[in-house]
Structures are given as structure tokens and as C-alpha cells.
């Protein structure tokens, strides 16, 4: 069985622990393209931050593409 190649986000709390999106009341989609995943985060980062996520890591399948990157505005 091959690993999935969709693009998605791993959400992390301020200490760097992985958060379950369901615990935050959100569903993180698995997108077909990196740009779609990045657009989703761009539209939802404020809500994620308000609900306890401090950073996010972009994944393609199980591989880290980049991150973690902070969600708070600089």
C-alpha cells in the first residue's frame, strides 16, 4: 500500500504537541495541491489560533514539507 500524497496541516499547541483538529472543532482537509492547502490555512489561521493552535506544519502524505510555522500575526 502506498502512502497518501495529499497536502494537509499538522496543528501544534504552544508547547509543540500535536493537536487533534476535532478537539478544536475544525476539520483540516487533505488537498490535491500545495497551493490549495496553503490557501486553506490562510483563510483559517485566525480561527485555529483562537481555538488553541499556535503553529502548523505542512505535510505531503506523511512527509514534512515545512514548518512548524507560527500562526500569530507578526
- Give the model confidence (pLDDT) of 35-48 as tens digits: 999 999 999 999 99
Q: What is the model's pLDDT at position 3?
A: 54
pTM for the full model?
0.90
* DSSP assignments along the chain, one per residue: -PPP--EEEEEE-TTSPBPPGGGGT-----BSSHHHHHHHHHHHHHHHHHTT--EEEEEETTEEEEEEEE-S--
Checking if the pLDDT of 13 tops 80, the result is: yes
Q: What percent of the chain has pLDDT over 70?
A: 93
Taking residues 46-56, report their average pLDDT: 97
Least confident of 3-7, 10-14, 42-46: 3-7
Amino acid at each position: 500500500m502506498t502512502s497518501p500524497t495529499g497536502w494537509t496541516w499538522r496543528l501544534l499547541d504552544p508547547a509543540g504537541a500535536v493537536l487533534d483538529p476535532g478537539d478544536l472543532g475544525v476539520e483540516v482537509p487533505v488537498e490535491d495541491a500545495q497551493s490549495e492547502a496553503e490557501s486553506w490555512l490562510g483563510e483559517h489561521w485566525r480561527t485555529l489560533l483562537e481555538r488553541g493552535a499556535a503553529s502548523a506544519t505542512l505535510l505531503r502524505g506523511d512527509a514534512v514539507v515545512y514548518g512548524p510555522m507560527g500562526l500569530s500575526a507578526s
